[in-house]
Amino acid sequence: MSIEIRNISKRFGNFVALDDINLDIPTGELVALLGPSGCGKTTLLRIIAGMETADQGDILFSGAEATHLHARDRNVGFVFQHYALFRHMTVFENVAFGLRVKPRKERPSDADIRRRVMELLGLVQLDWLADRYPSQLSGGQRQRIALARALAVEPKVLLLDEPFGALDTKVRKELRRWLRRLHDEMHISSVFVTHDQEEALEVADRVVVMNHGKIEQIGSPDEVYSSPASPFVYQFLGNVNVFHSRVHGGFAEVERSDQPEKATAFVRPHDIDIAHATFANGMPAKVLHVHPIGPVVRVELQHEQEIVEVELSRERHEALQLAVGQQVWFRPRQMRVFGADEQPRSTPEKQPFLF
């Protein structure tokens, strides 16, 4: 089932949670709503589920108007951030709930319910926990039961609110891969909310980056990472060095504008080269710190008053043999410049350079 979101706005008192949101989610896609807390992503998810009513705008499911459809009738599977498992029911009864509350005519027989629930518990690999209570499960198990419960009613859309937020790193990574596989097997549309960029980039087909109730960018994980549409997206997705024109006396840009303006350049730490001798467009700096972190080595340079963060591969670091206090030269391989209006002033093809 496809979802179309048309001009959705929502306020809570004076706080604008969503400001004229438009978004299309085609059938079968796994979409991440990514943004900092308070950006409106959860509100948008709850509006899609029918838990919250938008002040303006429409929601269409498979092209049909669904704005005023009750949550009960939307056929949406919702996985809550804190799972919202029914604490006084066993795992089995939790999963069976959606089947048991169906009107008598549509309700499956007890045997069918049993078969269906055990099938779902098998799918989430927790059939051995059927008689436990939610309080006896680990976080990752609760998460999977919540998912099985949502899937029991055969929803057309699966909505997940911060699905991995409350789990530790190792479990989180496992569950990510598992969710991806599950989504591919179930052939449904899924939307999940996250504030973790790594999670969004790894799992989703498409990432919707949100901030202050607006959509900043929609694109594939690669697109939003390598060509961010705004300074916000640049800073939210990964580490970045920010160079202000004031500090460096302006940029020599490939595309010159007539009016000189204030601009900001963004450079990812792994897009910076370091050398011992000066080279074309290189800038001088002093090595402040060298931290080997797992597969990479993070180097902090001091250039004039600025601290510049550089990430080198271990091989490159071996070759350079940097020492603290050393004078070196650095040069961005790739960067992006934004004007004061937050619009890009450069493209990946036409690289500006600093001097």
Q: How far is the CB of 194 from other proteins (least distance, A)?
A: 14
Sheet holding 3-12, edge to edge: 15-25, 3-12, 56-61, 64-65
Q: How far is the CB of 203 from other proteins (least distance, A)?
A: 18
Element (H, E) at 231: helix 231-236
Instruction: Please select the residue that binds other proteins; options are 22, 26, 65, 102, rule is CB under 8 A.
Output: 102
Q: Is 57 in the site for other proteins (CB under 8 A)?
A: no
- Considering only residues 149 through 188, tell me which ones interact with other proteins, judged by CB under 8 A: 149-150, 152-153, 170-171, 174
Place of tokens 């949100």: 210
Q: Is 78 in the site for other proteins (CB under 8 A)?
A: yes
DSSP 71: G
Partners of 244 in beta bridges? 264
Do 328 and 285 meet the contact criterion of CB atoms below 8 Å apart?
A: yes
How many residues line the site for other proteins (CB under 8 A)?
Answer: 52
Instruction: Please select the residue that binds other proteins; options are 63, 68, 249, 295, rule is CB under 8 A.
Output: 68
Dihedral sign from CA coordinates of 218, 223, 228, 232:
positive
Q: Is 84 in the site for other proteins (CB under 8 A)?
A: yes
**What are the structure tokens assigned to 260, written together?**
């000189």
Q: Is 105 in the site for other proteins (CB under 8 A)?
A: no
Q: Is 51 in the site for other proteins (CB under 8 A)?
A: yes
Judging by DSSP bridges, how do beta strands 214-219 and 283-293 pair with one another? unpaired
| 3 state DSSP class of 303 | strand
Q: Is 104 in the site for other proteins (CB under 8 A)?
A: no
Instruction: Please select the residue that binds other proteins; options are 211, 217, 241, 346, rule is CB under 8 A.
Output: 211
What crossing angle do the helices spanning 110-123 and 91-100 adopt, rounded to 10°? 130
Distance in angstroms (rounded) separating the CA atoms of residues 178 and 203: 10
Stretch that binds other proteins, among 139-147, 304-312, 322-330, 333-341 (CB under 8 A): 139-147
Q: How far is the CB of 64 from other proteins (least distance, A)?
A: 18
Distance in angstroms (rounded) separating the CA atoms of residues 111 and 120: 14
Q: How far is the CB of 163 from other proteins (least distance, A)?
A: 14
Q: Which residues bind other proteins (CB under 8 A)?
A: 12-15, 36-39, 49-53, 68, 70-74, 76-78, 80, 82, 84-89, 97-98, 101-102, 135, 137-142, 149-150, 152-153, 170-171, 174, 211-212, 232, 236
